[in-house]
Structure 1
Amino acid sequence: MGALIARLPLLLLALGLWLPAPTHAARILGIFPTPSISHQLPYQAVMKALAARGHQITVISPDPLKEPVTNYTDIDLSFSYKLFRQMITFADMSEVDPVTVVKLLTPGYFQLVDEQLGSKQIQDFLKYNASQGFDLVFYEWWGYEALFGLIHAVGSPPQVGILSFGGTVVQWRSIGNPHNPAINPDALTGFTDQMTFWERVQNLMSNIILTWHWEGVMFTEHEKIMRKHFGSAPPPVYDTSRNLSLLILCNHWTLEYPRALLPNVLQLTGLHVREETRPLPGDLQTWIEGAEHGVIYFSLGTNILCKDLPAEKLQAILRALARLPQRVLWKFENDELPGRPPNVRVAKWLPQQDILAHPKVRLFITQGGLQSFQEAAYHAVPLLGIPFMGDQQYNVAKMVSAGIGSRIPLKDITEDSMYAATMEMLENPKYAERMRRFSGVYREHKARSLETALWWVEYVLRHEGAPHLRAASLRLAWYELLLLDVAAAVALAALAALLLAAFALRRLWRALRPSTAPAHHARLRKDQ
């Protein structure tokens, strides 16, 4: 015992050398403009966890916390929801390709950031908070580049990009991460990693068109909006977009596909998923437990409004559900649903995670939103997808390829097709069994996601932006990155070598070829 005590200082010294240096309590700014709670939930999870570790957090978003958190200050942009709803009716997007959806939403993005930057909330923030400076900025890396002026206004600290889904070619380019369209389907396509020839063609064209639209059209307009509000001081939006210390993507290969990643790109999952469940409100618990044949949960998320579905599709779904022995719990925006059968219950808001955790829930009918996918994966509930927009086609394609779900496009929904798709999911045991195995893998990685995010954020703080993680590809022109200059040099060298060889062979042939001139002159003399 005495020997152990004598060695204690050495042990403590060794432990101190092994542990990373402590991170000081930093001032961290989060810029999350999207008026959609499904986007905000994973961001809030990271920000609240950082606040719990003593960091001073300020968040600019349309979704302020409902309950105050120590060290956490909200800049409330909730007025953005009204404008966002006026942009487009998302229920109409089921047959529009994802790149076109981005193009349709683009004018709305411009108007949204312009009004947000001109708001009293942002102006007051700039007046009273920006001058104090921040040690780190999080920003939602999706279509809001005019807000990069805020980064410069708070002192241009290191930047962490975060996105509520798995990313597109735009995000991969911004951090310099390899992206091979032959094997990596873009998150805005409905493809898997087993693409046919024509799917690879479409994936490549989608990458090219999205890059051109984003960096050509969107960057140009956002540059104008940023200059309107911040003048000439901030650097160009293109430069800021490529100045990331860390990129956090709130999706993971367990819910999509393996890809090569740089060390400063994090794929995380289930950041918002709670491990503990809460009691269901009112008589909902009794209603679910009284379902002899189980319960189907039906929700199209926060952006797709069921009341906006075509009337004939809505009635076809209702007639199909009426034929089922199961009870159906439907998140619906109105107090009542015309034609609702007795086995269907509707509510404007439902505690989705706690419902999915209930053992009586046998199927989740979903639009394919990523946060819903993550919750279903955690609680091992098979899925029937009706995808509409964004990454929903991509997520539903993964459900189908993994054997944990099925897909029914809105255009194909009839009473019989909806009934058949639902019964197949309920009666075929392979979906529940595969989902149980899928959930086991998912849970193992979900358990470390938030911890991983916190470690890397504080790593960036400790190492002043961690510039040593930046990829060399960010310094190369596009033709250098594709080795076109090398290929051109090799081709020119090969051509020069061929020309030189041809010239040498021609000279050699002339030198070795027997001369016919003397014999010709001899014949002439003989004739004379």
Structure 2
Amino acid sequence: MKLTPRQTSFLALLLFCLLSCVSAYNYLVVSHTAARSHYHVGSALAKGLASAGHQVTIVSPFESKKPIKNVKDVTAKGVLSIMQGRMANLLESSKRPITKQIVEFHEMGIEITDILLSDPVVVELMKSNQTFDGVIVEVFLNEAHFGLAEHFKAPLIGLGTFGAISWNTDLVGSPSPPSYVPSALLKFSDHMSFAERVGNLAFLTFEYFFLNYFYLPRQEVLYRKYFPNNKQDFYEMRKNTALVLLNQHVSLSFPRPYSPNMIEVGGMHINRVRKPLPKDIQEFIEGAKHGVIYFSMGSNLKSKTLPLDKRHALIDTFAQLKQRVLWKFEDTELPGKPANVFISDWFPQDDILAHDNVIAFITHGGLLSTTESIYHRKPFVGIPIFGDQFLNMARAEQNGYGVTVLYDELTAPKLLAAIQRLINDPEATKKVRDMSDRYRDQPQTPLERAVFWVEHVSRHKGAKYLRSASQDLNFIQYHNLDAMLVLYGSILFVLFCVFLLIRWVWRLLQELFIKKSSPKPKPKAKQN
């Protein structure tokens, strides 16, 4: 059908009007952590924004395997060597006291913050005339990186890759009452005993002083070094964060208060559309008469670096199972490998857990892995090593779909007993299915929600109306200590004065009563 000039002009005008209604933004995503699990969260958001028609520049130690439309990689590999060196000693460092682990952890944060900002590709990006409508920065021991937002004159959006912690809740003023909100680094629930509340308060007090008087001042030095022209001071900049996206969901944890600009988007990295498995893995899974158990210790801890006694414990355990086992093992050979075990240095974890013939997961208890396992309705055995892994496994045990085996106590009998207990308990499968149903029952996917809120902040120039007034208060004002001192102090002072007055009146009355009741002295008789 041939269109007339008038029809052609009308269609062109209509197309122009439609295009004018579409707003494409330009975003910078900083996913600096050299841990694949963290990168998966940041890259999932970057891909989601790109699919929505926006331009995305992502700074990270990793490069996309395939070019992605609307996504530009800025690969800063300097962080890799720092974190790989630290993670190589992960098993040893996990044995140290929690306070010492925290100090070492934050020391690593200072190093990776400095390394990224001095990387030539980042320096070049900062010198460019590039503009962004939003700067999205992973919140993980890198507070000086937040200065990139003001540098590019864009709103700052934080991305918390493993749930709520003081690093990200402080950015938007989300309250965290220590009476029922445990630290993410402790394995307490929201129903703590008296001793646990004391322990939680003690730990949070230590963390508060450590962060504010030791760690953050060092990040401030880096902020001033790399952003000398920024007008906001370091602490003002942190408190002006427009939005924090949190890799958590209430159905997977417990209820707690959030400021309106802290949004839960946990699980946005999970693929809602399944991809076909590689042929050899597919045949191995479908040929298992008794089902398959998937085993991975995550991206930071390599199975090939496990001590021989722990490796032999795993081999002995798997050899006694009638199920087949997929083991993420980062070497081509595994001496003593049982016939029912398939090893590979990489597995498409998300797609494997989605398979109906996979019946359980053995994991380190990381937030991404446990979230994927719950989404795909698979109960799991956890061998936590550090960080929030203990808390994640404590929640799984409390909810009845997980069993913990401590690394120090890892032996073949204990691991075998934990696996058998899990796969032979129909209640565990039922409970994880119920949990999955609650998690899936959302009006939109976590990724859709994340994209909406990022766009919302861009549309409303930082959405400053969401900012909590608590960000303008100091510690004394926030906890109302000055008001309580005046109010309750005044009441106590008045009561004290009333008490003194009553005591004075009482004493006066006593004296009067004594004077009246005491007999008068008889007059002496006259002597002649």
TM-score, normalised to structure 1, is: 0.90
Deviation at 1:237, TM superposition (A): 2.5
Partner of 1:110: 110
In structure 1, the residue matched to 2:259 is 262
Matches within 5 A, 1:257-296: 257-296=254-293
Q: Which residue of 2 aligns with 1:45?
A: 44
Are residues 325 and 276 of structure 1, via their aligned partners in 2, closer, same or farther at CA, if it must alter by over 3 Å? same
Tell me how far 1:298 sits from its aligned partner.
0.5
Matched to 1:416, the amino acid is P
User: Is residue 79 of structure 2 the alignment partner of residue 80 of structure 1?
Assistant: yes
Deviation, structure 1 residue 351: 0.9
Corresponding residue of 1:92: 92
CA-to-partner distance for each residue in 1:83-122, whole Å, 9 max, x for gaps? Answer: 2111242233444465543321222222222122111101
The question of whether the paired residues in 2 share the 8 Å contact of 1:301 and 1:369 is answered with yes
**Is the 8 Å Cα contact of residues 98 and 189 (structure 1) preserved in structure 2?**
no
Is the contact made by 1:268 and 1:446 (CA closer than 8 Å) also made in structure 2? Answer: no
Deviations 1:361-409 (A, max 9, x none): 1110000111111211111111000001111111111111111111000
- The equivalent residue for 1:211 is 208
Check whether the contact 1:94–1:387 (CA below 8 A) recurs between aligned residues.
no
In the alignment, which residue of structure 2 is the partner of 1:245?
A: 242
Alpha-carbon distance between aligned partners in 2 of 1:511 and 1:91, rounded to the nearest angstrom: 76
After TM superposition, what 4+ stretches of structure 1 lie above 6 angstroms from structure 2? Answer: 515-522
Gap change, CA 1:526 and 1:496, over 3 Å in 2:
farther
Is residue 170–residue 214 contact of structure 1 (8 Å, CA) maintained in 2? no
SS in structure 2 at match of 1:304: coil
Q: Which amino acid aligns with 1:238?
A: Y
**In structure 2, distance between residues paired with 1:495 and 1:370:** 49
Contact in 2 for aligned 1:143/1:218 (Cα 8 Å): no
Does residue 123 of the first structure (1) align with residue 146 of the second (2)?
Answer: no
Q: What is the match of residue 492 of structure 1?
A: 489
CA contact (8 A) 2:139 2:161 kept: no
Residue equivalent to 2:295: 298
Report if the CA contact (8 A) 2:28-2:134 is conserved: yes
Secondary structure at the aligned position of 2:295 is classed as strand
Unaligned 5+ segments in structure 1 are 1-20
Shift of 1:519: 11
**Secondary structure at 2:381 match in 1:** strand
1:9-63: CA deviation from partner (whole Å, max 9, x where unpaired): xxxxxxxxxxxx9673222211221111211212222222222223222221112
Residue 335 of structure 1 deviates from its aligned partner by 1.2
Alignment partner of 2:131 out of 122, 133, 144: 133
User: Would the aligned equivalents of 1:333 and 1:347 in 2 still touch at CA under 8 Å?
Assistant: yes
Q: Is 1:450–2:442 an aligned residue pair?
A: no
Question: 1:267 offset after TM fit, Å?
Answer: 1.1
Residue identity matched to 1:250? N
What's the CA shift for 1:219?
Answer: 1.0
Indicate the larger mover: 84-93 or 290-299.
Answer: 84-93
Q: Residue 3 of structure 1 aligns with which residue? A: none
CA pair 149-245 structure 1, distance change in 2 beyond 3 A = closer
**Residue 516 (structure 1) shift:** 8.0
Match of 2:149 among 130, 142, 151: 151
**Alignment partners' CA distance in 2, 1:249 and 1:503:** 56
Distance 1:232 1:524, change over 3 A: farther
Instruction: Give me the whole-angstrom Cα distance separating, in 2, the residues matched to 1:446 and 1:269.
Output: 14
CA apart distance, 1:70: 2.5
Counterpart of 1:113, as a letter, is T
Distance across 2 between alignment mates of 1:518 and 1:90: 86
Quick one: distance in 2 between partners of 1:279 and 1:341? Answer: 26
Q: Is structure 2 residue 335 aligned with structure 1 residue 338?
A: yes
Number of positions where the alignment pairs a residue of Structure 1 with one of Structure 2: 505
- In the TM superposition, 1:10-25 aligns within 5 A as 24-25=23-24
Distance 1:514 1:419, change over 3 A: closer
Query: Alpha carbon RMSD of aligned pairs, Å?
Result: 2.4
Greater RCO (Cα-Cα under 8 Å, separation 6 or more): 1
CA contact (8 A) 2:135 2:148 kept: no
Q: Distance in 2 between matches of 1:523 and 1:426?
A: 100
State the 1:527 CA deviation: 6.8
Instruction: Give the Cα separation in 2 of the matches to 1:527 and 1:306.
Output: 116
CA distance in 2, matches of 1:37, 1:226: 26
Say which SS state the counterpart of residue 75 (structure 1) adopts.
strand
- Asked if structure 1 preserves the Cα contact closer than 8 Å seen for 2:139 and 2:167, the reply is no
Structure 1 pair 348/485, CA: closer, same or farther in 2 (3 Å)? same
Rate the CA distance shift 1:523–1:134 in 2: closer, same or farther, 3 A. same
**1:194 — aligned with what?**
191
- Bigger shift: 229-238 or 214-223? 229-238
Quick one: which amino acid aligns to residue 143 of structure 1?
A: L
Kindly state the Cα deviation for residue 502 of structure 1 after the two structures are TM-superposed: 3.6
Equivalences for residues 342-421 of structure 1 within 5 A: 342-421=339-418
TM-score, L = length of structure 2: 0.90
Mapped contact 1:271–1:446 kept (Cα < 8 A): no
Q: Distance in 2 between matches of 1:321 and 1:446?
A: 41
Contact 1:96–1:389 under 8 Å retained in 2: no
Provide Cα deviations, 1:480-513, integer angstroms capped at 9, x if missing partner.
Answer: 2222222212332123213322443355457655
Unaligned residue ranges in structure 2 (runs of 5+): 1-19
Q: 2: distance between equivalents of 1:271 and 1:446? A: 14
Contact 2:160 2:168 in 1 (8 A): no
Native 8 Å contact 1:277 1:354 kept in 2: yes
**2:221 pairs with 1:224:** yes
Q: Distance in 1 between matches of 2:338 and 2:503?
A: 91
Match of 1:432 among 416, 429, 432: 429
Whether contact under 8 Å (2:178, 2:197) holds in the other structure is: yes
> Which residue identity lines up with residue 112 of structure 1 in the other structure?
I
| Counterpart code for 1:363 | A
Q: Is the 8 A contact 1:23 1:462 kept in 2?
A: no
Task: Decide whether the 8 Å contact of 2:172 with 2:241 is kept in 1.
Answer: yes
Letter in 2 for 1:146: A
Residues 521/408 of structure 1: CA separation in 2 closer, same or farther (3 Å cut): closer
In structure 1, how many angstroms separate the alpha carbons of the residues matched to 2:173 and 2:22? 27
3-state SS of paired residue (2:362) = strand
Instruction: Measure how far apart 1:416 and its partner are.
Output: 1.0
Select 1:142's aligned residue among 118, 128, 140: 140
In structure 2, the CA distance between the partners of 1:516 and 1:222, relative to structure 1 (3 Å rule), is closer
Would the alpha carbon gap of residues 463 and 253 (structure 1) be closer, same or farther in structure 2, given more than 3 Å must change?
A: same
The one-letter code of the counterpart of 1:122 is V
Distance 1:416 1:515 in 2: 86
The residue identity in structure 1 corresponding to 2:123 is Q
**Partner residue, 2:11:** none
Moved more, 415-424 or 479-488: 479-488
